[in-house]
Chains A and B, each alone.
Chain A
C-alpha cells in the first residue's frame, strides 16, 4: 500500500533556472516489507546543500542510491537536473558524483591508479596533474602509489573524497562522508562542501552528525517512517526555502 504524501520539502532559489537539481514526486521504494520511502516529494534547487537525517534504516542511503541510478523507484519518479533516473539513467550518471559509505576503491590498485581509472571513466585525462592536486588536497600524496588494501578506512574515505573532487559533477551525493574520518578529515569534508556550494554545485549529504549539518547545510531534512520533513533551514535566509505540506 502506498502511503499518502503527507509532507514535502520544496527548496527554490530565486534567480536560478526552473529545472531543479533534484525533483522527487511520489517516490516509493522498499525491500519487500513496508516501504522505506513511502511517497516522498522533494525539490532541491541548484546550488543548495541539503542534509538528510534519520535513524538507521530510515531510507537515507536508499534515497541517494535512487538518485545515483543504482535503484529503481517502485512508484513515483525522480529527476536529476531534469533527467529521469530510470529513463535517462546515463544522462543522470554524467551529472552526479557519488560518495559511497565504504569509499568504493579497488584494494589491489594504488590510490593514484584508482583515481586515474575514475577520471578516465568520466572521460577525463588520466594523466592530468589534477590527480596529484586532489591527492595532495586530501593528504594522501605520500601513499598515492601504495595499494589501497593497505589504507586505513579513514584513508579510503579521503581517497573517495579525492575522486569526488575530480568528477566535476553538478550534483554530489554523499553517504556518511564524515564516517571513519578524524577531526581534520571532517573539517576537510566541510571545506569541500562549502567549495562545492560556492561553485554552484548541489550537495545531498546523508549524515548522523546533526550539529555539523546545521552549520554546513542550507536545509536539514529528516527521513522517518517513509516520509520527509524539513527540520531546520540554518544556512540561508528563509525566503528562498519554502516548505509545503
Chain B
C-alpha cells in the first residue's frame, strides 16, 4: 500500500464512524447554532453592527465547534485499544495524521458551508458575488484550524484532563489562523475589497503551510510513548 492509500483508509474509517454515530455532527451543529444565536442577540438591533460582526460570529462558532470535532476524532481510537492496533500497523505516522486531518477538515468545511448562509441571513450580511472566494477562505481557515486541532487532540488524547487542556493548548496557536480568516471574510462581505481579501487569504495559506510542515514533522513524537 502506498502512503496515500493509507491516508484515505484512515480518513474513511473516521468518516464512516461519524456517519454512524453522528456524535460530531450533532454536537457541532447544535453548538454552532447556539453560538450564532447568542451573539446575534448580544449585538442587539443595530443592523450595521450585525453586518460587520457576521463573519466574526461565524468564525467564533466554527472555532468552538472545531474543538469539539477534534476531541471526538480521537475518542473512538481510544476505545478497546484501537489506537494501539492502528499504531502497530506498518503505516507512517504522518499518514495517520493526514488521514485524521482529512476527515476532520472535511467535517469542519461542511459545517462552515452550512453555517455561512445561516450567519449571513441571521446577521443581515449580503454575500452576493463573495460566495466563491468566501468558500476558499472557509476551506483555508478550517484547514489551518484542523491542522492544529488534530495535532493537539492527539497530544492530549491519553491525558485525563484532555477536555480542558485541548482548548488551552491550541487556541493561542490557532489565533493567527482565526484572525486572518476573519479579516479575509470581512473584506469580502463588508467592503468587497478583493485585494485586501486576497492579501489575507495568502497570509492564511502561508500559515497553513507552516503549520502543516511543523505538525507533520512533530506528529510522530506526539503518538510515540
Contacts and interface: CB of A to CB of B under 8 A. Distances in A.
B88 A108 contact: no
A68 B90 contact: no
Given A100-B81, A101-B81, A121-B1, A109 B17 contact: yes
The DSSP consensus for interface residues of chain B is helix
Interface stretch (B5-13, B28-36, B112-120): B5-13
A70 B13 contact: no
Nearest to A151: B80
A65 B88 CA distance: 9
A44 interface: no
Interface in A183-203: none
Given A101-B81, A117-B9, A117-B13, A107 B89 contact: no
Interface in B120-168: none
B21 interface: yes
A158 interface: no
B80 A109 contact: no
A71 to B, nearest CB: 5
Nearest to B12: A117
Interface residues of A, number: 33
Contacts of A120: 1, 5-6, 9
Contacts of B1: 120-124
A163 B86 CA distance: 12
Interface stretch (A11-19, A89-97, A211-219, A231-239): A89-97
A130 to B, nearest CB: 16
A124 B90 CA distance: 11
Interface string A100-118: 1111111111000100011
A104 B84 CA distance: 7
B110 interface: no
Given A72-B225, A102-B81, A120-B5, A107 B90 contact: no
Contact of A107 (B5, B6, B76, B91): B76
A131 interface: no
B16 interface: yes
Contacts of B79: 106-107
B85 A118 contact: yes
Contacts of B91: 93, 121
Interface in B57-90: 76-77, 79-82, 84-90
Contacts of A105: 80, 82, 85
6 contacts: A90-B92, A100-B84, A101-B81, A104-B82, A106-B79, A117-B9
